[in-house]
Amino acid sequence: MIDLHTHTIFSDGELIPSELVQRAVVHGYRGIAITDHVDFTNIEHALAGAKKAKYLEDVLDIRVLAGVELTHVPPQKIAPLVKKARELGAEIVVVHGETINEPVASGTNSAVVGLENVDILSHPGFITLEDAQTAADNDVCLEITARNGHNRTNGHVAKVGLEAGATLVVNTDCHSPDDLITKETAKMIAMGAGLSEKQAEKVLASSIRFIE
């Protein structure tokens, strides 16, 4: 299992990084990205904590990526914050998509998929085919999520993503210990979104490039 979207106490998660990573190892994780919620007010603090967590790679058999999830940032402010995240050393940049579960600003998906330095548009709700095609052109991955609420549109995301040729990834959006999953569960989530077994296996394999 490679999970590219998780949260710690540096935003609204329940665990400090060391416990999150240790629990991930027990679940068979090969890689995990710590991507706490950020905007311009807290990005330095959250990313500094995530970067310090990389010390765990010295003693645990897991790759730990220091990242961020830009969350509820106005669409016109996303590009400069992505640039700032990279300048601060973010190894992975996730942006909170237009999930139907929260009042994310309209236009967020479109603003994100046009950026070449964003890795993942998380839980993008009813993303349009046009935006999915732009995501494919700019190598922005679209997320199939294990998180309750956000996962209500997984089927739509999978269908549109496949039609557009976009890269799909399965993540947990982990906030608490019970949110962590095994690779087998991730595969079932992908298949539950309407993918065939072969397609689901391909989606899980698409995350490997982030830890190599």
Task: Report how far residue 75's alpha carbon sits from residue 95's, in angstroms, rounded to the nearest whole number.
Answer: 11
Any idea where the domains of the chain sit in the sequence?
2-210
**Strands 120-122, 92-96: parallel, antiparallel or unpaired by DSSP?**
parallel
Note the pLDDT of residue 191: 98
Question: Torsion-angle region of residue 125: left (phi > 0), alpha (psi -120 to 50) or beta?
Answer: left
Tell me, what DSSP letter sits at residue 105? Answer: P
pTM of the predicted model as reported, rounded to 2 decimal places: 0.97
Task: Report how far residue 187's alpha carbon sits from residue 195's, in angstroms, rounded to the nearest whole number.
Answer: 9
Task: Report how far residue 114's alpha carbon sits from residue 196's, in angstroms, rounded to the nearest whole number.
Answer: 29
Quickly count: other Cβ atoms within 10 Å of residue 116's Cβ. 9
Tell me, what DSSP letter sits at residue 10? Answer: T
In DSSP terms, 170 is beta-bridged to 144
Q: Which residues in the chain show pLDDT less than 50?
A: none
Which CATH superfamily does the domain covering 2-210 fall into?
Metal-dependent hydrolases (3.20.20.140)
